[in-house]
Amino acid sequence: MEQASKELKYEKASEIRDRIVAIQRVSTKQKVSNINENTIDVIGIAKSELQVCVEIFFVRGSKMIGREHYFYQELGDMEDKEILSGFIKQYYMNNPNIPKKIMLKEEIEDKETVENWLSTQAGKKVELQSPKRGEKLRFVEMAEKNAKVTLENKEKDKSEILMELKNVLQMEHLPRKIETYDISNISGEFMVAGMCVLKDGAIKKNLSRRFKIKTVYGQDDPKCMEEVITRRLKHSVENPESSGFGALPDAIFADGGITQIRAILRAIQKYNLEIPVYGMVKDNHHRTRALIDSARNELPLSENLKNLITNFQDTVHDTAISYHRKLRNKEITKSELDNIKGIGDVKKKALLKHFGSVEKIKNAKLQELTEVKGITEDLAKNILENL
């Protein structure tokens, strides 16, 4: 596996790694067969600077029948006890397969409360145990070890992707933060942009942003792109501490060709910054086939990078188009009721639901209007006068 990785044969390395994990699973099932319990879940935890991995082993009838793992990010300085307590509450909420015993490396602070809650959920007594010696302790340590291996494998995949991106983009340092942008409009109306972030090799949807175009009139996507990038960079340059955008990106990807690249570069030059820009080029099947640089050089991509960047490109497109639809639908659903003082969204919906249309509201009698929840007599008079 290591040799394949050194030769940049990442897909082959991943296949070998999966075989290693499969062998480890078989070995684990054999090792735990002498645990003399009927229904146990064993929870292990591993942490890195970036994320946390929680691993669960399922033991039924003295045999391990399976396992699951979950990743959590940005948990800050939370202690293992806090993470485990929160995980148990989340994982076993409405879970029909709560075991009689759940084994952890260390006792959580609200152990008694959680045990009572679990027992109520399961309809039987449920215990949280932290074994100190013997086979059960070895089993908990095995879950912790597996969590560590799982976490290392995931982070290794990320580091490989980052290294591959660094080589493809011919950058001096790892591109830990990449931003991509897409413009969406119909004939120059409801013009918006979407922004998505690829951080440490993973798409972070929580860092996505949406922009309403403010200074461009008519359909001019490059001008829209220049406006959006200028506004985005301004946040980090002028307010680096309070900016909701965080640090400047290591690179920017454009959902488009050379005209979009040039528009982004014009915005970057306004702040005398040096941020490389690349365009994402699609094939006939709407998948990213390559990246192009500002000199129109095409940068070939491995299958892994094609999949990642296609997903990245699709995500930013969805972000932009969904915002465009939201603004368009909001405009479509505007009615004469919007201009009446005292009528907000809730009352407008209630009136339209009761009468079916603005025309029927116009023809309604005062008493009929007051039958709608929230419509007072004075407001009903105001509605009829305005309509």
Determine if residue 190 is left, alpha or beta; phi over 0 gives left, psi from -120 to 50 gives alpha, anything else beta: left
pLDDT at position 14 over 80: yes
pLDDT on residue 33: 47
Question: What digits encode the pLDDT tens for the residues 337-376?
Answer: 777 888 888 888 888 888 877 888 888 998 999 999 889 9
Q: List the domains of the chain with CATH numbers.
A: 2-166 (3.30.420), 177-331 (3.30.420.340), 336-386 (1.10.150.20)
pTM of the model: 0.55
Coil, strand, or helix at residue 39? Answer: strand
Among 357, 351, 275, 288, CA closest to 316: 288
What pairing do the DSSP bridges indicate for beta strands 63-73 and 298-300?
unpaired
Confidence of residue 248 (pLDDT cuts 50, 70, 90): very high
pLDDT on residue 43: 94
pLDDT on residue 85: 92
Question: What digits encode the pLDDT tens for the residues 164-180?
Answer: 889 999 998 889 899 99
Question: What digits encode the pLDDT tens for the residues 315-329?
Answer: 888 888 888 888 777
Question: What digits encode the pLDDT tens for the residues 82-114?
Answer: 999 999 999 998 888 899 999 998 888 899 999
Residue found under tokens 């959680």: 114
pLDDT at position 157 over 80: no
Determine if residue 167 is left, alpha or beta; phi over 0 gives left, psi from -120 to 50 gives alpha, anything else beta: alpha
From residue 99, give the alpha-carbon distance in Å to each of 123, 127, 237, 298.
11, 9, 54, 56
